[in-house]
Amino acid sequence: MNAKNLKLLYEGKAKKIFEFTENEVIIFFKDDVTAFNGLKKDSLSGKGKINKKISKFFFDMLEKENIPTHFIKDIDENSFLAKKGKIIPLEVIVRNYTAGSFCKRYGLKKGIKFKNPILEYSLKNDELGDPMICKNIILSLNLIENNLLEKIENYSLKINNIISNFLLEKNLILVDYKLEFGINNNEIFLADEISPDTCRFWDKNTMESFDKDIYRENKGNLIDKYKEFLRRINL
């Protein structure tokens, strides 16, 4: 992609967003990887194109199941065209098994399956370290209308079923993941990415990770694991 003539709207830890038209942006996936709120940081050659490929794959899958996403069309190995919209300042976290911060918070070992998926929210705010927030506070602060929040919850749980079922066929489990949503003309759509940077994927039998925990926990070569994940899902 020739980004020279495009206006950079936003640069995050793992992506750059360029203005394309009034209603469209180009999402560019960088090779940068960070953990612990940016305290650990590296650039791993090839990560951007892998995450773009996986995100496009899942967005396609979800669109077919009537989940609106921001994906419009492919641009190149590292970028795709996406709908422009206002990003809702919430991170939706869905958990099927205990892992990560949930284990720390409640002193639990990892890998316990929940009776039902757990849905949590964080307020998107790097300075505050994305604090957890509950539905009550979200609505009381008027961050979003109730009917739109319900839509987000429905989409988030439907996404859980679609991706979990797909992965189970490959003997993989969707442990937990983070979603972000955008809004345009009162229409909610899934935005951001769905990748091993934002999800935990484990082998069903061995609990081996194919996600950013490899980097967080210094458990080996992240790119090799992401490539193995690509092979496991036949991409």
Residues that bind ligand UDP (CB under 6 A): 91, 93, 99-102, 130, 176-178, 198-200, 212
Cα distance between residue 81 and residue 72, in whole Å: 5
Closer to ligand UDP by Cβ: residue 4 or 113: 113
Q: Which of 6, 101, 9, 12 is nearest to 51 (CA)?
A: 12
Closer to ligand UDP by Cβ: residue 100 or 117: 100
**Minimum distance from residue 147 beta carbon to ligand UDP (Å):** 25
Cα distance between residue 136 and residue 115, in whole Å: 23
Closer to ligand UDP by Cβ: residue 20 or 195: 195
Q: Which residues of 47-68 are buried (b: 16+ CB within 10 A; e: fewer)?
A: bbebbbbbbbbbbebbeeeebb
**Minimum distance from residue 153 beta carbon to ligand UDP (Å):** 16
Are 33 and 43 in contact, with CB atoms under 8 Å apart?
A: yes
**Minimum distance from residue 163 beta carbon to ligand UDP (Å):** 12
Closer to ligand UDP by Cβ: residue 9 or 132: 132
Are 63 and 92 in contact, with CB atoms under 8 Å apart?
A: no
Closer to ligand UDP by Cβ: residue 138 or 199: 199
Are 81 and 24 in contact, with CB atoms under 8 Å apart?
A: yes
Q: Is the dihedral of CA 78, 81, 85, 91 positive or negative?
A: negative
**Minimum distance from residue 69 beta carbon to ligand UDP (Å):** 17
Q: Which of 224, 225, 217, 195 is nearest to 103 (CA)?
A: 217
**Minimum distance from residue 119 beta carbon to ligand UDP (Å):** 12
Closer to ligand UDP by Cβ: residue 16 or 200: 200
**Minimum distance from residue 177 beta carbon to ligand UDP (Å):** 5
Cα distance between residue 120 and residue 100, in whole Å: 14
Closest residue to bound ligand UDP by CB = 100
